[in-house]
Structure 1
Amino acid sequence: MKYGIEAKKYVVVNYRHLTLIQAISLAALGFAIYQSYFLSLSVYIGIGVLVVLTALYAIPVLPHTKNLRSLGGLKIFVVALVWAGSTVVLPVLAADVSISWDVQMETVQRFLLVLILLVPFEIRDLAYDSPELHTLPQRFGVKGTKIIAACAIAPFFLLTLLKDAAHPAELWVNAVLCLLLGVLILSTRISRNRYFASFWVEAVPILWWALLFLSES
């Protein structure tokens, strides 16, 4: 989706790395078609909703507006919503488990987590993003955007306490995660090394999983 905002780029690309992305996308599509045989109707409905959101992210939907991505500041929330639905709601539907209170809390937590993790990328891209996008750093400045991200860290942790069946290990793991998120947000700058967001921020979900895995082993 990132490299295919314009329809012609889906078929005709000018760079080798985009051709590789096309090949990987087609391979993923093949696996998806095979796995679709095992999915239930509820999962199809969930996928349909997320596909529509993802498509509207790039396809024009409103007069004088190119797409949801170009609506002022909405891009980051659409991305976080799709990630939360894909990583929490869809697996629950696939397991044929009801959307319980804990699942709802986890969904909101995942939304907040992705929102926080996207902020370093938004700030990094400030020098390159079109003014038409009206991203959070463009609207509120770097400092204001960092404050918004920092304010989302506390609710992320507190929602763990609201769960009916929160594992004790989840509390300390999320506490460590919140501390790490705070350090990353404070350290975010426009001029940071390119690997700061592309490696260290990207690695946070892997570290989170590793901590949860070790706490349960």
Structure 2
Amino acid sequence: MIKKIFDFYLDASIHVALAIFSLVHVTALTLNINVPFELYCFIFFGSISCYNFIKFGVEAEKYILVSNTYQKNIQFFSLGCLLVAAYQLFFLSEKVLISLFVLAAITGLYALPVLPRHKNFRSFSGLKILIVAAVWAGATVVLPSISVLNEISWNIKVETLQRFFFVLVLLVPFEIRDLKYDNVALKTLPQRVGFKRTIVIGYLWAIFFYTLTFLKLDVDLNYIAVKTIVFIILMVMLYKTELDQKRYFSSFWVEAIPLFWWLVFLLSKKYII
């Protein structure tokens, strides 16, 4: 029973939604802003419905007409989350709604067949991980920032770019895990450069992520210490990434890294400052 609940927790995208939620709070702590509770709710519940749509409904018809009971349960759960997320829209500012529309459009282009030669933008060579990283960066940095602040400062721009590289690193184990299942036509990063070079590229992205820490205008020792710990975790994760991964390596442990970042940040705020 515990295993079934845990698998549903992963398959229904609750874990990834918590990861996204935690990154939003990391942004709030980093920029020292009070993000509206309604935006937290929208991002959490919206992430569940959005990710489940992408996973189980690349084609809209397939998503509506699922026959598997397990997927039906996830479908109804996702519908409930979508309704909760939609209700939060009434409390969000106009500029946040416009930004949400842009992110939703990018997500739709990623999942839905809208192109004549390509089923969707996901099928473009190498574009898949860039879209995912851009949407995560927008949702976890830009949205909470503009919900409170009137302008995008230099620090916010750096944080957004840093978050982009952070997500790119997190996607490396998933790209390698799916290597044996992905269609050759997708030309994913591991398909193009191989396993070892993909890991090397992941190391470079992690270094870019950490280097950007020192481009902020006001950097304190606590901030550097937290980013250093996250950087070390990313490097260890890449080192541990294999072609034949254990079942929960990517789907649980890799997706838990944003939660670890959040926890480390909270502990640093409480015990260091």
TM-score grouping bracket, smaller chain normalisation: over 0.9
1:113-132 alignment runs, 5 A limit: 113-132=166-185
CA-to-aligned-CA distance 1:158-190 (integer Å, 9 cap, x gap): 111111123421211111111111111121111
Match of 1:59 among 108, 112, 121: 112
Counterpart residue number, 1:210: 263
CA distance in 1, matches of 2:184, 2:242: 19
Residue 194 of structure 2 aligns to a residue whose secondary structure is helix
Counterpart residue number, 1:184: 237
CA distance in 1, matches of 2:114, 2:200: 31
Counterpart residue number, 2:81: 28
Tell me the TM-score normalized by structure 1.
Answer: 0.96
CA-to-aligned-CA distance 1:120-161 (integer Å, 9 cap, x gap): 011011011111211111111111111111101111111111
Match of 1:148 among 198, 201, 208: 201
Moved more, 84-93 or 193-202: 193-202
Counterpart residue number, 2:9: none
CA distance in 1, matches of 2:265, 2:129: 26
CA distance in 1, matches of 2:234, 2:174: 14
> Which amino acid in structure 1 is aligned with residue 249 of structure 2?
F
> Which amino acid in structure 2 is aligned with residue 206 of structure 1?
L
CA distance in 2, matches of 1:168, 1:61: 48
> Which amino acid in structure 2 is aligned with residue 170 of structure 1?
Y
Residue 197 of structure 1 aligns to a residue whose secondary structure is helix
1:166 aligns with 2:219: yes
Moved more, 9-18 or 202-211: 9-18
Do the aligned residues in 1 keep the contact of 2:169 with 2:206 (CA within 8 Å)?
yes
Q: How well do the aligned residues superpose, as a CA RMSD in angstroms? A: 1.2
Match of 1:3 among 56, 62, 71: 56
Counterpart residue number, 2:93: 40
Q: In structure 2, list runs of 5 or more residues that go unmatched.
A: 1-53
Moved more, 193-202 or 42-51: 193-202
CA distance in 2, matches of 1:72, 1:91: 31
The alignment covers a number of residue pairs equal to 217
Deviation (angstroms), 1:59: 2.1
**Distance change (3 Å), C-alpha of 1:124 and 1:176:** same
> Which amino acid in structure 2 is aligned with residue 91 of structure 1?
P
The structure whose RCO (Cα within 8 Å, separation 6+) is larger is 2
**Distance change (3 Å), C-alpha of 1:15 and 1:139:** same
> Which amino acid in structure 2 is aligned with residue 45 of structure 1?
I
CA distance in 1, matches of 2:216, 2:238: 26
Q: In structure 1, list runs of 5 or more residues that go unmatched.
A: none
Residue 194 of structure 1 aligns to a residue whose secondary structure is coil
Residue 66 of structure 2 aligns to a residue whose secondary structure is coil
Deviation (angstroms), 1:21: 2.1
Do the aligned residues in 1 keep the contact of 2:59 with 2:113 (CA within 8 Å)?
no
Tell me the TM-score normalized by structure 2.
Answer: 0.77
1:157 aligns with 2:210: yes
1:106 aligns with 2:171: no
Deviation (angstroms), 1:63: 3.0
Residue 129 of structure 1 aligns to a residue whose secondary structure is coil
Moved more, 74-83 or 28-37: 28-37
